[in-house]
Amino acid sequence: MLGQREPAVYGSQTLADIDAMLHQQAAELDIQLKCFQSNHEGALVDQIQAALHHCQGILINPGAYTHTSIAIRDAIAAVALPVVEVHLSNIHRRETFRHHSYIAPVAVGQICGFGAQSYALGLSALVQHVRAASA
């Protein structure tokens, strides 16, 4: 629904636009990138667990699951990969129920409020973190 749902809050860029931007950035950073989207909590947990075998980090926008999903939080903690949480909007300037993140305590960091640029900032931060940790 990205690009259609509440464009005043989430912007007009589509998920395909953001994926294309991230793939271009990944090429510039000389990294491989896999994008995945699902509205199903279990599918997200499955992808997080699968990342253990082929990824060095996870960039995640858990959407509303940020505020509700202990399952996603536990999956992130279990794989022990560096995670950067991103949000298009500034969740701390929105409704009170959006201020709490189950993900933030198990993430390297959180970037929010910069629209689609939050993803680019998050990817850059994640790559720098992974590279610094393996240096």
Q: Which residues are catalytic?
A: 10, 87
Which pairs from 122-128 meet CB under 8 Å and 24+ separation? 122/59, 122/84, 122/85, 122/86, 123/22, 123/25, 123/26, 123/29, 123/33, 123/59, 123/84, 124/25, 124/29, 125/84, 126/57, 126/58, 126/59, 126/82, 126/83, 126/84, 127/29, 127/31, 127/57
